[in-house]
Structure 1
Amino acid sequence: MGAWSKVRRVFTRDANLVTAEDLLNLAREGRTGGKTVHVNNDSALRQSAVWACLRLRADLESSFPIDVYRRVQGLQVEVPTPPVLVTPGGSEVGVKEWMYSTRFDLDRAGNCFGIITERSGVIGPDGRGLPGRIDLVELGQVTVRANGAQITKFKIAGKEYDPWDVWHEKQYTVAGFPLGLSPVAYAAWSIEASLNAQQFARDWFAAGIVPSGTLKNVNKTIDKRQAREVKDGFRAAVSNGDVFVHGVDWEYKPVQAVTQQSQFIEAQQYSNGDIARFFGCPGDLIDAAVSGSSVTYANIGQRNLQFLIMNLGPAVGRREDAFSRKLVSNPRYVKLNTDALLRMDPQTRAQTLAGQITSRQLAPSEARALEERPPFTEDQLAEFDRLFGSRSVPAQPTTAAPGASS
C-alpha cells in the first residue's frame, strides 16, 4: 500500500491522533538504504538548498505590506488595518516576524498553527469575535484529531483545543484531507541523498569510511601485533603535526579522493536543483547550478515578476483569502502589496512614472507621493515655468459620442 493511501487510512479512523512526524514517516516509508541521515523538518535545514528556498520565500513575503480594503461604489477604498495584522503576536511579535515564521512553516511542513489568545469586539461569521492575537506554536508540539476531512480537536503541548481556538493555515492540499502536505516529507529522498553525500564527505576527510593512506613495510611481512604497534606509533606522531621518523623499510602512500570528490559535487548539484523544484524556487535564485537554461531577463524587475507569477504569487493569493475570511469582517478584504518585489531600477521607474503622467493615468502629485515626496510648491512650479515654459498642457482631442452634436 502506498504512503498516501496509508495517510488517508489513518485519518479515517475516529479518535486517532496524528502528528506531523507521523505524516513525515508515512510519506517516506518504503525507502531503502543502510546507515543514512534521518530526514525531518529540523534536519532538512542542514541542507543549504532547503534553507535557501525557505529563507527566500519567507523573507520576500514578510516584506510585503498588508493592506485592508472594501468596495465603495465599485472602487477599492483602503480602510484601517486591524491590530491583528499589525502586531499579530502581541507587542513582542510584529507582523513581519509573524509572517516570516508562518511562511517558513507552511513551506516546509504544509501547515502552521497558533493559539488564538485574544479576540476583538468584531463578530465573525462563526458568531465569535474575530482573532485579536495569535501566538504561534512549534510544529512538533501539535497533534491533530480528525474524522475524515474534518478536524475535531487540536492537541498542543499536551492540552486539547477546539478548532475555533486554533489558527490553522495549510497549503499543498488535496481533496478530502484536513492537513497540508509536507514538502520536506515528499522531498525526503532528495534531501536525504544530499545529506548522506555531506555525511560521506565528512567521514571521508575525517578518515572514518576508508583509510586515509597505507603504511607498508617493503622488506618483510609483519603480524597483527606489530602492525598495531606501528600504526599507534605513526598515529601518535602525526596526529599533532609532529614528524614521523622511520628507516628504509616503511613506505607511506596517501589514498587519493579525486573520484569521490567529483561524485560528491555532482550529487550536491543534482540534489540542489531537485530540492528547488520541490520548494517552488528557481535554482538560479538560490545559487544552485542550472544547466541547459537559455532564459535571460532584461532586468531584475522582469526576473522578479516571473518568480512572483510562477512561484510565490499563488501562495500569496491563498493567504490573502485566508486572512480575508478569518481576520477581517465582510465586506473588508486583505491584500498583500507585492510591489516591494517588483521594484524597478531608478531609470526604469522614472520612465514608467513619466509615461503614466503624460498619458494622464497618474497625476504629478500622485507620482510624487509614490516617491515619498510632498506635492510641488508654487515656487517650484514657477521655477519649472521659467526653465521649460508655461505649465499649461494642450487640450487632448476627443471623439464625440455617437449622436452628439458638435
Structure 2
Amino acid sequence: MTWWSKVRTAFTREAQLTSPEELLAAQRALRTQSGVAVTRDTALRHSAVWACLRLRADLVSTMPVDVYRRVNGIQVQVPTPPVLVTPGGETVGIQEWLYSTQVDLDRAGNAFGLITERSGVVGPDGRGLPGRIELLSLGDVAVRAKGAQITKYVVAGKEHDPWDVWHEKQFTVAGLPMGLSPVAYAAWSIEESLNAQKFAREWFGGGAVPLAELKNTAKTINKAEAKIAKDNFRAAVQTGDLFVHGVDWEYKPIQAVAQQSAFIEAREFGLTDIARFFGCPADMIDAAVSTGSITYASITQRNLQFLIMNLGPAVSRRETALSRGLTPGPRYVKLNRSALLAMDPEARARTIQTRIASRTLAPSEARALEDLPPFTPEQLAEFDVLFGAPRIQPTTATSSGAAS
C-alpha cells in the first residue's frame, strides 16, 4: 500500500490530526537522529523561508480591503463591515490579522481563529456572521475529521463545533479536510540546507570531521594506543601548550577547501529551491540565480509578473474565503491589487494622461487617485494665466466681410 493510500485509509474512520505534516508522515519521517528535524518552526530559521513568508504576508496585508455588490450589472462599493476593519477586536486591525493568517497559510496550509462574537447579519447557515475572530496558534489546534468532513476542532484540549472556528486553508488535496504544509513538501530541500549549516558549524568547530590528522609513521597502533595519543595531544593543544612526541608521529592539518565549496553550493541551491516551494522568485528575496541578474523593463512589469504568477491565486482564494464567511450575499470582498502595481512617477503620469484622453478616467477621478481633491475655481484660473484661456475655434463662416 502506498503512503497516500494509507493516508486516505486513515480518514475512512474518525481521526485526529495535530498538524498538516502528519498527513505526510507515511511518506517520510522528518525527524532523524543525526540530522535537522524540519518543522513549521525550525524552517523559519532559514533565511529564505523567512524572506518568502515576510514578502508574501507584507504584500497581502497591505492591500486595501473593499466590499462591493453588483447593481444592474455595475460594481458598486458598499461600506466595509467592522469585522473587515478590526477582525480581532479593537487591538487587532485588518492588516495585522491578514499578515498573521497569511504567514500561517503559507507555512502550514491552514489558519485558525475562534469566533468569539457574531454580528446581527444572518449568514447562509442561519447563524449570525462572525463579528470577531481571535486567531489561534497552530500548535494549539487539532482537527477531528471523518473522511473529508471535519467533525470537531480541539483547541488547547477543549472541543469546538466547526461553526465556532474560522478555518482558511490552501494547498488542498481532494478528499482531505486540511490544507497541506509546503514545509512538509519542501522538507527534503530545507533539510539539506539546514543540515549544510549544521555541518558547517560542526566542521569549523571540529565536530563533523577531524581538523587535523595525527599519524604514527613507525608502526600500526591499536584503538587503546590511539586514544591515549589523541587525549595527550588534545590536552596539550587545548591549553595552547606544546605537544612533545618522538620521531614516529606526524601531524598534518586537513585541507577543507573542497568541503567549503560544496557547502556554499548547497546553500545557494537551497535558497532558490525553497523560494520555488514558497511561491517567491529567488531574485525578489536577494537569492542568487543561476542565470545571473534578471532585468525587467520597469518595476511595474516585475510586480505584475509576481502578482499574476505567484501571489494572485492566493489573493483570489482569500477573497473567496472572506466573501463567503464574513459578508452577506450578494456582497463580495476584493483585495485591491493595484496597491502592488506601483509605478514610477513618469509611467504613472503617462498612464493617467492616456486614460483621461481615452475617456476611461475623469479628471476628478485622476485627482482622487493622487489623494487630491477636485480643482477649485481659483486653481483652474491659474491654468488660464499660465497657459492662456482655452481658445474656441469657429466652426462656420463669419460675416460676409470675412475672407474665406
TM-score by length of 2: 0.89
Tell me, yes or no, if structure 1 residue 2 matches structure 2 residue 5: no
What code does the residue aligned with 1:141 have? D
Q: Is the alpha carbon distance of 1:341 and 1:83 closer, same or farther for their aligned partners in structure 2, counting shifts above 3 Å?
A: same
**Aligned mates of 2:392, 2:100 — CA distance in 1:** 51
C-alpha offsets along residues 14-71 of structure 1, whole Å, 9 cap, x if unaligned?
2x21111652651652679762111111111112211111111111101101001111
C-alpha contact (below 8 Å) 1:6/1:26 kept by paired residues? no
C-alpha contact (below 8 Å) 2:7/2:23 kept by paired residues? no
For residues 132-171 of structure 1, the aligned pairs below 5 Å read 132-171=131-170
TM-score by length of 1: 0.89
**Aligned mates of 1:4, 1:187 — CA distance in 2:** 17
C-alpha contact (below 8 Å) 1:86/1:95 kept by paired residues? yes
Q: Is the alpha carbon distance of 1:70 and 1:213 closer, same or farther for their aligned partners in structure 2, counting shifts above 3 Å?
A: same
**Aligned mates of 1:129, 1:315 — CA distance in 2:** 27
C-alpha contact (below 8 Å) 1:7/1:23 kept by paired residues? no
Instruction: Give SS of 2:89's match.
Output: coil
Instruction: Indicate the residue corresponding to 1:277 in structure 2.
Output: 276
C-alpha contact (below 8 Å) 2:118/2:132 kept by paired residues? yes
For residue 108 of structure 1, report the CA deviation from its aligned partner: 1.0
Instruction: Indicate the residue corresponding to 2:287 in structure 1.
Output: 288
**Aligned mates of 1:377, 1:357 — CA distance in 2:** 19
Instruction: Indicate the residue corresponding to 1:350 in structure 2.
Output: 349
Q: Which moved more, 1:378-387 or 1:159-168?
A: 378-387
Instruction: Indicate the residue corresponding to 1:58 in structure 2.
Output: 57
Instruction: Indicate the residue corresponding to 1:403 in structure 2.
Output: none
Q: Is the alpha carbon distance of 1:324 and 1:391 closer, same or farther for their aligned partners in structure 2, counting shifts above 3 Å?
A: farther
Q: Which moved more, 1:279-288 or 1:318-327?
A: 279-288
**Aligned mates of 2:349, 2:393 — CA distance in 1:** 23
**Aligned mates of 1:89, 1:31 — CA distance in 2:** 34
**Aligned mates of 2:314, 2:245 — CA distance in 1:** 70
C-alpha offsets along residues 69-105 of structure 1, whole Å, 9 cap, x if unaligned?
1112222111111111111111121111110111111
**Aligned mates of 2:218, 2:55 — CA distance in 1:** 61
2:234 maps to which of 220, 231, 241: 231
Instruction: Give SS of 1:195's match.
Output: helix
For residue 380 of structure 1, report the CA deviation from its aligned partner: 1.5
**Aligned mates of 2:356, 2:339 — CA distance in 1:** 22
Q: Is the alpha carbon distance of 1:324 and 1:124 closer, same or farther for their aligned partners in structure 2, counting shifts above 3 Å?
A: same
**Aligned mates of 2:108, 2:292 — CA distance in 1:** 30
**Aligned mates of 1:62, 1:244 — CA distance in 2:** 62
What code does the residue aligned with 2:286 have? D
Instruction: Give SS of 1:52's match.
Output: helix
Instruction: Give SS of 1:135's match.
Output: strand
User: Aligned Cα RMSD in Å?
Assistant: 2.6
Q: Is the alpha carbon distance of 1:225 and 1:311 closer, same or farther for their aligned partners in structure 2, counting shifts above 3 Å?
A: closer
C-alpha contact (below 8 Å) 1:27/1:185 kept by paired residues? no
For residues 27-106 of structure 1, the aligned pairs below 5 Å read 28-29=27-28, 35-106=34-105
Instruction: Give SS of 1:144's match.
Output: strand
For residue 255 of structure 1, report the CA deviation from its aligned partner: 2.3
For residues 164-203 of structure 1, the aligned pairs below 5 Å read 164-203=163-202
**Aligned mates of 1:219, 1:39 — CA distance in 2:** 47
For residue 181 of structure 1, report the CA deviation from its aligned partner: 1.4
**Aligned mates of 2:27, 2:371 — CA distance in 1:** 51
C-alpha offsets along residues 223-262 of structure 1, whole Å, 9 cap, x if unaligned?
553552332021112xxxxx75879978754322211111
Q: Is the alpha carbon distance of 1:263 and 1:247 closer, same or farther for their aligned partners in structure 2, counting shifts above 3 Å?
A: same
Runs of 5+ consecutive residues of structure 1 not aligned to the other structure:
238-242, 396-406
**Aligned mates of 1:322, 1:25 — CA distance in 2:** 26
Tell me, yes or no, if structure 1 residue 255 matches structure 2 residue 254: yes
What code does the residue aligned with 2:97 have? W
Q: Which moved more, 1:43-52 or 1:122-131?
A: 43-52
C-alpha contact (below 8 Å) 1:11/1:147 kept by paired residues? yes
Instruction: Indicate the residue corresponding to 1:366 in structure 2.
Output: 365
**Aligned mates of 1:350, 1:333 — CA distance in 2:** 31
**Aligned mates of 1:68, 1:276 — CA distance in 2:** 32
Runs of 5+ consecutive residues of structure 2 not aligned to the other structure:
395-404
**Aligned mates of 2:77, 2:334 — CA distance in 1:** 10
